[in-house]
Structure 1
Amino acid sequence: MSTKWTAVSLLAAAALTLSACGGSDTEVADAGGIRLTYAIFSTDQQPAMQKVVDAFEKDHPGIDVAVQVIPWTDYWTTLQNSAAGGTGPDVAWMLGSKIAPYADGGVLQPLDETISAAGTNLSAYPQQLLPLFKRDGKTYALPKDFDTIGLWYNKAIFDAAKLPHPNADWTWDDVVKNAKALTDKGKGVYGIAAPVEAQAGYYNTIYQAGGHVISPDGKTSGYQEPASVNGLRFWTDMIKNGYSPDLKSLSDTEAVAQFMGGKIAMYYSGSFYAYRFAHDDYTSKNVDVTELPAGVKEATVINGLGNVALASSKHPREAAELAVFLSGEQASRIQSETGTVLGSHSGTQQAWVDAAPQFNLRAFLDQLPNAVVYPVSENTDAWSSRESELLTPAWNGETSVEEAAKSLATAMNEALAQERQ
């Protein structure tokens, strides 16, 4: 295990452990078979993932898989501590932005041989996502799902204002014009929500403005560039002009809750909310979605989850087989058919669109040609953890967007320089 990984793990909160996901739970199951644990962080996805696990168990008699849900707020610290201590789950969800220290620390199994043995067709996956899960030529996960960002909107609010609904031809100017027209502070209704949100918010507008978050070689920040500043200003102007609730309001009641409560007319967010909106009485009837409005160009951020097999598993071969199965075509089809998430394997995604016909979910797929992969580096957390802190003063009007972007670029470049040492 690398010194870098050990140092990071020692700084983490050691009190958190995977009480139900550890070495003792990978012992031989009571029927003489093998027991594996699978750690995830979404209760919304738990039913779908259980169906996938059931399919795996049917194809692999003698293997029992326990799905364990760890809340997002605890998941990464818990996984880090248990993985470093050799008591982690057998298989776990992993983000491309977080995989590097795990892979470099030797706590994950390379899956290339298992992928090859399964006859997996790598061309069936979104090609932008595959590099997120590779390190030094080795594959540590395949995407189990993916998401892009769209413009969710409240049809009832638009209809009450006698305004046409957003469509795929919209630009930033249309968003601003309608955000202004739809804001009615007397009724507590705002045209748009402008939280300090990276993946679903300003990352998209930075790329739409012609800027970038990180250079293509991963060595320098792009925040200081004028185009990137323009992408940030799209959001700060919404608050400055009163078209969005201020950050205190968005902190007291998060943007998605205000949108679901009929207080926000437009909300930039991902395909990952389709399941929740479809199962809510109000949003199922009153909201829809379209492609993101274009700035200088069209762009949407694409990201996805992968499944990793931990090297500490007492059953490494079976754990690797489970990890690959969980990202395979059958698993992807099951996830899409339940409407839970957008399955990663081509040919399975229309089922997700069909699962919620009240929404224009095809918009998320139609944007794939313009998709920009979620920005990462060797140690993404070192700089991404500073984004909200350093950008918030600009959202609050306490400093200019240029100054906030400059401060973030400086901090990010320092972090990126550390990666090269």
Structure 2
Amino acid sequence: MSLNRRHFLTGTAMIAVAATLAACGGGSSSGSGSGTGTDEMITADTEAELTLAYWDKNQTPTVEANIASFKEKYPNITVTTNLTVYNDYWTKLRTQAEGNTMPDVLWMNGPNIQLYASNGMLAPVDGEVPWDSYPASLVDLYTYDGTHYGIPKDYDTIGVFYNKKIFEAAGVELPTAGWTWEDFHAKAKAISDWGKDQGIWGCATTVNGDGQGTYYNTMLQAGGFIIKDGKSGFDDPKSIEGLTCWAEWIADGSVAPPTVVTDTKPLDMFNNGKSAMFWAGDWTCPEIVESFSGEVTDVDVIDMPSKAKQATVIHGLAWTTSSQSKNPAAAKALAIHMASQASQEVEGKNGTAIPAFTGTQQPWIDAYPDWSCQIFVDAAEKYSVAYPVSKNTSVWADKEADYLNPAFAGETDVTTAATELAAFMNEALAEEA
């Protein structure tokens, strides 16, 4: 789920798309274009035809239910949905942008919001949206150049899933609230030492290039940053501390190395009892329920351990509207409706994702009564930091593993790798200016 939300295009392909969007959007960062007049009032008598694009068929019941309630207010507005599988979604959207046929209302993710907003492909959604009803860090993620371009739909934060049976068998106490990096390391090391003859790791998680699930969080927890004011934070001393911990944990066998989790997915290792802990986002919950080899009551989840502070990366989807829409007022009304409290209550009850509107999360939490899933909501509201993005996020994000995997595996020096990654990233960011 997290990878599906992040990746778009890589390297020169991403740069080419940015150039194409700039050409057809005029390179404007104002989000204007044909989407003017979005403050026009619409009424029950308004007639319009809208298209709505999304990529997850599991969310079709939620999308359709919320469109139905929209049509109760505006019976003369027709909404046609375009469901496109994720791998084709962005390619199709690029073609539509080039042909001036983008959908009126569409899902957007963090890594692509600046690309489309900066090139004038999205219309602003300022106005009657209750922005303080969504996590501030998520609102910030979908704000570009001081303007809101996306209304939060749902979100992901990160926790540590753990197998209570393995802890018990290894004679290791379960993690408790307020635990630290040192506590995590001690528990992971003890379990790995106990389970090495059985192929059981203290922790197996996505250290092979998934910053959202792992090292972005420790960089932040150590007091560092990933990107700020158009500059990379990978060479910041505190950020390097948040990378070095993984190399140290891997070096002494506490955490499975990149080669292991590349050959076998860490989620599968956790579900099959081959790791006691797994750092992951809330999107993992249904997959663990479906595939865990033991009883789901043997599993629980807890906040990530802290260092200088608590911190988690937050990501999530947003509802956006196209600046190319021929019915901008109706499109804006639909986007606001799809992100409204009532619509997100439907989202929570359907269990498709954690809804972003404050106070609508309880039904999602209740879907996992045996687990401490409140931690994901608390993290979002209390100590989350927006997923790191730029205009061409994937140009540098997709290269992180090339620098960090060898360092995590002990093949190169962490400080050197982080410094070189920062230099590469800063060059990429300079090209965006």
Q: TM-score range by the shorter chain?
A: 0.7 to 0.9
Aligned pair partner of 1:374 in 360, 371, 387: 387
Deviation of the 1:95 alpha carbon: 1.7
Which sits farther off after the overlay, 69-78 or 166-175?
A: 69-78
Aligned pair partner of 1:345 in 338, 343, 357: 357
Q: In the alignment, which residue of structure 1 is the partner of 2:106? A: 92
Check conservation: 1:84, 1:107, Cα contact below 8 A: no
Deviation of the 1:66 alpha carbon: 4.4
Give the letter for the 1:228 counterpart: S
Deviation of the 1:361 alpha carbon: 0.8
Mapping of 1:26-41 within 5 angstroms? Answer: 36-41=50-55
Deviation of the 1:10 alpha carbon: 10
Give the letter for the 2:372 counterpart: N
Q: In the alignment, which residue of structure 1 is the partner of 2:160? A: 151
Which sits farther off after the overlay, 158-167 or 288-297?
A: 158-167
Check conservation: 2:140, 2:386, Cα contact below 8 A: no
Change (3 A) 1:378 1:209: same
2:328 pairs with 1:319? no
Aligned pair partner of 1:7 in 19, 31, 47: 19
CA deviations 1:43-79 (Å, max 9, x no partner) are 4433333333333333332444444443333333332
Which sits farther off after the overlay, 398-407 or 284-293?
A: 284-293
Name the SS of the counterpart of 1:199 in structure 2: coil
2:269 pairs with 1:220? no
Q: In the alignment, which residue of structure 1 is the partner of 2:117? A: 103
Check conservation: 2:157, 2:313, Cα contact below 8 A: yes
Deviation of the 1:141 alpha carbon: 1.1
Check conservation: 2:203, 2:255, Cα contact below 8 A: yes
Deviation of the 1:131 alpha carbon: 2.4
Which sits farther off after the overlay, 156-165 or 144-153?
A: 156-165
Check conservation: 2:22, 2:119, Cα contact below 8 A: no
Give the letter for the 2:204 counterpart: A
**Distance of 1:388 and 1:84 partners within structure 2:** 32
Mapping of 1:228-377 within 5 angstroms? Answer: 228-280=239-291, 282=293, 284-367=296-379, 368-377=381-390
Check conservation: 1:97, 1:132, Cα contact below 8 A: no
Deviation of the 1:223 alpha carbon: 0.9
Q: In the alignment, which residue of structure 2 is the partner of 1:402? A: 415
CA deviations 1:133-188 (Å, max 9, x no partner) are 22334322111112211111112222222323222121111111111222223322
**Distance of 2:291 and 2:78 partners within structure 1:** 33
Q: In the alignment, which residue of structure 2 is the partner of 1:130? A: 139
Using the size of structure 1 for normalisation, the TM-score is 0.84
CA deviations 1:257-301 (Å, max 9, x no partner) are 222222221111112223333444647343211111111221111
Name the SS of the counterpart of 2:232 in structure 1: coil
Check conservation: 1:275, 1:339, Cα contact below 8 A: no
Structure 1: stretches of 5+ with no match in the other structure: 12-32
Give the letter for the 1:121 counterpart: P
Change (3 A) 1:247 1:59: same
Change (3 A) 1:411 1:158: same
Aligned pair partner of 2:149 in 105, 117, 140: 140
Give the letter for the 1:111 counterpart: V
**Distance of 1:401 and 1:311 partners within structure 2:** 44
Check conservation: 1:5, 1:102, Cα contact below 8 A: no
Change (3 A) 1:6 1:173: closer
Change (3 A) 1:44 1:202: farther
Q: In the alignment, which residue of structure 2 is the partner of 1:46? A: 60
CA deviations 1:379-399 (Å, max 9, x no partner) are 333322321222122123321
**Distance of 2:60 and 2:215 partners within structure 1:** 30
Q: In the alignment, which residue of structure 2 is the partner of 1:171? A: 180
Deviation of the 1:99 alpha carbon: 1.0
Check conservation: 2:18, 2:115, Cα contact below 8 A: no
- Number of aligned pairs? 390
Check conservation: 1:37, 1:89, Cα contact below 8 A: yes
**Distance of 1:167 and 1:50 partners within structure 2:** 41
Give the letter for the 1:384 counterpart: A
Q: Which structure is richer in relative contact order (CA contacts within 8 A, separation 6 or more)? A: 2
Change (3 A) 1:80 1:286: farther
Pairwise CA RMSD: 2.6
Which sits farther off after the overlay, 354-363 or 381-390?
A: 381-390
Structure 2: stretches of 5+ with no match in the other structure: 1-14, 24-46
Change (3 A) 1:240 1:6: closer
Deviation of the 1:199 alpha carbon: 1.0
Deviation of the 1:101 alpha carbon: 1.9
Deviation of the 1:369 alpha carbon: 1.9
Give the letter for the 2:347 counterpart: Q
Check conservation: 2:21, 2:121, Cα contact below 8 A: no
Which sits farther off after the overlay, 206-215 or 277-286?
A: 277-286
**Distance of 2:108 and 2:349 partners within structure 1:** 22
Give the letter for the 1:381 counterpart: S
Give the letter for the 1:134 counterpart: T
Q: In the alignment, which residue of structure 2 is the partner of 1:79? A: 93
Name the SS of the counterpart of 2:213 in structure 1: helix
Q: In the alignment, which residue of structure 2 is the partner of 1:23? A: none
**Distance of 1:296 and 1:330 partners within structure 2:** 38
Name the SS of the counterpart of 2:231 in structure 1: coil
Q: In the alignment, which residue of structure 2 is the partner of 1:27? A: none
2:194 pairs with 1:180? no
Give the letter for the 1:306 counterpart: A
**Distance of 1:58 and 1:276 partners within structure 2:** 35
